[in-house]
Amino acid sequence: MGRSLALQFGGRSRAALILTAIAASSAFGAQAGPRPPSVVILLADDLGYGDLGCYGSPDTKTPVLDRMARDGARFTDGYAAAPLCSPTRVALLTGRYQQRIGNAYEDYLGGGAPGLDATKHATLAMLMKRAGYHTAIYGKWNVSGGRNEARADLLPGAHGFDHWVGVHANHDQHTHRRIKQPDKLDLWEDGKPLVRDGFTDDFLTDAAVSYIRTHRDEPFLLYLPFLSPHNPLQAHDDPKVYPDGDRRAYVKMVERLDHNVGRVLGAIQEAGIGPDTLVMFTSDNGGQQAARNLPCSGRKGQLLEGGIRVPLILLQPGVVPAGTTVDYPAITMDVTATALAAGGAKVPADHPLDGIDLRPIVQGRRPPGPRTIFWRQRVLDFRARTNEVAARAVREGDWKLYWRGARPKLFNLREDIGETRDRSKEDPALAARLAKKLRDWERAVTPPEVLFGARPQ
Tally of CA atoms within 13 A in the half-sphere of 147 that contains its CB: 5
Question: Is the pLDDT at 380 greater than 60, yes or no?
Answer: yes
Tally of CA atoms within 13 A in the half-sphere of 272 that contains its CB: 5
- Contact predicate 285/308, CB 8 Å: yes
Distance (Å, whole) CA 274 – CA 216: 10
- Domain covering 35-362: architecture: 3-Layer(aba) Sandwich (3.40)
Question: Is the pLDDT at 108 greater than 60, yes or no?
Answer: yes
Over its C-alpha atoms, the chain yields an Rg (Å, rounded) of 21
What's the DSSP call for residue 46? S
Which residues, other chains included, contact 31 with Cβ-Cβ below 8 Å and sequence gap of 6+?
37, 275, 276, 319
Which CATH code for domain 372-445? 3.30.1120
Q: What is the pLDDT of residue 453?
A: 64
Give the closest residue to 224 by CA, choosing from 301, 176, 279, 285. 279
* Range 424-437 average pLDDT: 98
Q: Any idea where the domains of the chain sit in the sequence?
A: 35-362, 372-445
Amino acid in the structure at residue 271: A
pLDDT band for position 147 (cuts 50, 70, 90):
confident
Neighbours of 415 (CB within 10 A): 9
Give the closest residue to 250 by CA, choosing from 43, 62, 63, 82. 62
Question: Is the pLDDT at 104 greater than 50, yes or no?
Answer: yes
Distance (Å, whole) CA 333 – CA 357: 9
- Strand (E) positions, 183-328? 188-189, 192-193, 220-225, 277-283, 312-315, 324-326
How does pLDDT run across 67-98, given as a tens digit for each residue?
Answer: 999 999 999 999 999 999 999 999 999 999 99
Neighbours of 398 (CB within 10 A): 15
Q: What is the pLDDT of residue 149?
A: 80
Give the closest residue to 412 by CA, choosing from 424, 426, 398, 395. 398
